Amino acid sequence: MSYQENTSAPNRGTPSSGIGRGPVVPYVPGLDGLRALAVIAVITYHANREWLAGGFLGVEVFFVISGYLITLLLIAERERAGTVSLGNFWVRRARRLLPALFTLLIGTITYCAMFNSDRLGRLRGDVVGGIFYVSNWFQVWTGSSYTSSAEFAPLRHLWSLAVEEQFYIIWPIVMFVLLRNLRSRTLPVLGIFFTALAAGIGVYSAIIFHSGPIDTFAKTPDQFMSLFGRHVLRTDFLYLGTLTRASGLLLGAALATAWRPWAIRRSRAGGNANGLDLLGLVGLGALAYMCWQFRETVVTEAGTEGYALLYRGGLILVALATMLVIATVTHPRSRLGKYVIGSPILVWVGKRSYGLYLYHWIVFQAFRKSAGMPLEPREFVALMAITVVITEASYRFIETPIRTGRALASYRAWRQRSGGVRGPLPVVLATLALVPVFAVVSMAGARVMPEDVAGNLDDNTGAVVTIPTTTLPIGTTTIPAVTTTAPPVAKFDVFAVGDSVMLGSARKLSSYGITVDAAKNRQVTAGSQILDYRMKTGELGNFVVIHLGTNGRGSVSSYGDLMRPLSKVPHVIVLTVNVPGSAYTDKNNEIISALPLQYPNVTILDWKALSKGHKDWFASDGIHPNAAGQDQYVGFILKAVGR
């Protein structure tokens, strides 16, 4: 996220040779308005991906704004003072970013210690990554994918701050070196160089990306790459990595070398912005279209895949559209920048975009307990009201006083008056201070507990019966041939095939004599191969239970393949799927509900309808049943098979 404040000083005109005289970057309301649009897109995406599937692109908009403003400020300082003060730059950044970040970290640790202590051990690495601004690489290294949904991840969003802070540390040094012997009229050459670097990163990302389903390293090794001897997901590396996300920052920097407000004012380009306003509208339209159409991942019959266009030029397109909008709103005569994007409401939101980004995610997570659980509209409104209150308090009483120096000035004035604290206030303050201290100590010594869903699935893995397979890429699992001379085998009384939803109840199902073959990330196509094998071995009895379709989009043909080996099975029970917020749930359920019309031996068990309104049956992700939900799940299946 980009949180570079604009200086409110007026433009001082042309550069001069005197120290302290020269250009100053003016305050541009339109940039705050653009920040507002970006943070609204990101928050909407985080609330419910179905509302704005490409809202995450708002982060790329922030990256371009950061690259533009940081480079512009460094160029202005070089022209004004003859050099760039690295120390002053980093102090300003620290005063702008650290107060709210530390407030978030302390608040999150305290919340977890008081209300969610089982998460403290897993939180420890995220906190350390947040403090040192390496969250993006921590997530790449640990495989904490930004798109994974079945986890309580209150600090996952800090990856973008890490990318920007690394840029803030490195880029001033780069510009200090490059600007030493460079004159203003040769700056566009530098811009061409930055653009070429961004294009090179785009090509590199396109080469690194591999299309196809994403699963574990054992199943999809091509989707992983080696990073210091560790296998990491390519999509994680591309989406979260500093280098691969630097293209937007570089293109913003390239724009700053050629589009400087103080130069625009005195050039012919500063006289009229009509044509530029049209280009700005084109840029806004392009951003809106990409936010609506783009995805991080797509779900197919073969499984979850990375959205190829995103990594093969999509992020570059977002950056180019953002550059058009920035060029428009920074023009002194832009109507779009002044009256539309620079409207008071958007400016108000934009000035608080840093806090809104920081605090909304932990507020959402505290409520829904899982990263991917979609919010309902009324839940979203209530949680955003809480977020706005927290953000405004942080902005007024923490961020602004520290950033402007008022907090330090007040402290010094208090010390000069030999100020003290009397009465019961010291006791109250000391008590309040002990709470976060206790929370931090608790986190430091906490044991790392597995996520509730992952832990339950691991506990049930030993209760399933599988067949020997030679695993190839998803969708092409080779089932061993069945010899005709094999001795007779006992038939399964009830045979159940499913994915992770069924896997979580495998022990309970097995305790009632049901043979379970269930696995994580299983697709419908894999189920048909398993049933075909069991049919050929003669192990299928009177009842088969099927629960597939949680992990991807099925089709009439794929569900037909499931039914083909079951023509001689008297009773086939097929469960509907329940994946809140997914685009394919209803489509899969339509196909499942129509199966009895073609296959008379099929009975539908409508798990989605039976579980509707029972959030207390599910784990934090809203997909996998918890202990109470497993009892209900098993009970419905037992009733369906006449037990």
Q: How is the chain split into domains, by residue range? A: 31-341+424-445, 452-640
Least confident of 72-76, 133-137, 423-427, 461-465: 423-427
If you average pLDDT over residues 374-378, what whole number do you get? 91
Q: pLDDT value at position 551?
A: 86
Distance CA 125, CA 123 (A): 6
Q: 409 or 501: which carries more pLDDT confidence?
A: 501
Tell me: the pLDDT tens digits for 415-457? 777 666 666 766 666 777 788 888 899 899 888 877 778 888 8
Please check whether residue 348 is in contact with residue 94, taking contact to mean a CB–CB distance below 8 angstroms: no
CB 256 within 8 A of CB 72: yes
- Compute the distance between CA of residue 110 and CA of residue 114 in angstroms, rounded to an integer: 6
3-state secondary structure of 213: strand
Q: Which residue has the higher pLDDT, 152 or 604?
A: 604
DSSP state of 1: -
Give the residue from 548, 534, 547 showing the smallest Cα distance to 492.
Answer: 534
Cα torsion 404, 410, 412, 418 to 10°: value is: 180
Q: Closest Cα partner for 568 from 590, 608, 541, 594?
A: 541
pLDDT tens digits, one per residue of 581-632: 787 899 999 999 999 999 999 999 999 999 999 989 998 888 999 999 999 9
Question: Rounded to whole angstroms, what are the CA distances from 195 to 198, 253, 263, 439?
Answer: 5, 9, 21, 46
Q: What is the token pair recorded at 514? A: 């049901």
Burial class (CB in 10 A: 0-12, 13-18, 19+), 437: exposed
Rg (CA), the chain: 29
Per-residue pLDDT band for 116 (boundaries 50, 70, 90) equals confident
**E strands, 138-211, in order:** none
How far is the C-alpha of 43 from the C-alpha of 38, rounded, in Å? 9
3-state secondary structure 74-137: HHHHHHHHCCCCHHHHHHHHHHHHHHHHHHHHHHHHHHHHHHCHHHHHHHHHHHHHHHCCCHHH
Instruction: Check pLDDT > 90 for residue 488.
Output: no
**DSSP code of 70?**
H
What 3-state DSSP class applies to 461?
A: helix
- Residue 17: what pLDDT? 38
Q: How many helices (DSSP H) and strands (DSSP E) are in the chain?
A: 29, 9
pLDDT at 263: 81
Taking a C-beta distance cutoff of 8 angstroms, is the pair 231, 320 a contact?
A: no
d(CA 640, CA 643): 8
- CA distance linking residue 611 with residue 284, whole number of Å: 42
Beta pairing partners, 543: 494, 571
Task: List all residues 6 or more positions away from 627 whose beta carbon is below 8 Å from its beta carbon.
Answer: none
- Rounded to whole angstroms, how far apart are CA atoms 497 and 522? 10
- Bin 496: left if φ > 0, else alpha if -120 < ψ < 50, else beta: beta
Q: At 344, which helix (H) or strand (E)?
A: helix 344-351
What is the average pLDDT score of the chain?
88
Range with lowest mean pLDDT among 219-233, 249-263, 366-380: 366-380
> pLDDT class for 486, splitting at 50, 70, 90?
low
Beta strand pairing call for 224-227 and 230-233: antiparallel
* pLDDT interval class at 184 (50, 70, 90): low
68-102 burial, b at 16+ Cβ within 10 Å, e below that, comes to: bbbbbbbbbbbbbeeebeeeebeebbebbbebbbe
Cβ burial of 415 (10 Å; 0-12, 13-18, 19+) is exposed
pLDDT of residue 7: 45
Q: How many CA atoms lie within 13 A of 350 on its CB side?
A: 26
Can you give the pLDDT at residue 479?
A: 56
Task: Give the pLDDT confidence of 504-529 residue by residue, as tens digits.
Answer: 999 999 999 999 999 988 989 889 99
CB proximity list for 305: less than 8 A, separation 6 or greater: 211, 212, 213, 214, 297, 298, 299
Q: What is the pTM of this model?
A: 0.87
- pLDDT for the residue numbered 356: 98
Q: Would you state the pLDDT for residue 299? A: 79
Mean pLDDT of the 369-386 span: 90
Q: What CA–CA distance (Å, rounded) separates 495 from 602? A: 14
Contact of 136 with 162, CB cutoff 8 Å: yes
* Residue closest to 42 by CA, chosen among 152, 167, 161, 134: 161
What is the per-residue pLDDT for 145? 63
pLDDT digits (tens, 9 = 90+) for 331-342: 988 999 999 999
Assigned CATH for 452-640 = 3.40.50.1110
Q: How many whole angstroms separate alpha carbon 364 and alpha carbon 237?
A: 26
Q: Does residue 372 contact residue 621 with C-beta atoms inside 8 Å?
A: yes
State the pLDDT at residue 14.
40
User: 231: part of which helix (H) or strand (E)?
Assistant: strand 230-233
pLDDT greater at residue 394 or residue 487: 394
What confidence category does residue 298 fall into, taking pLDDT thresholds of 50, 70 and 90?
Answer: confident
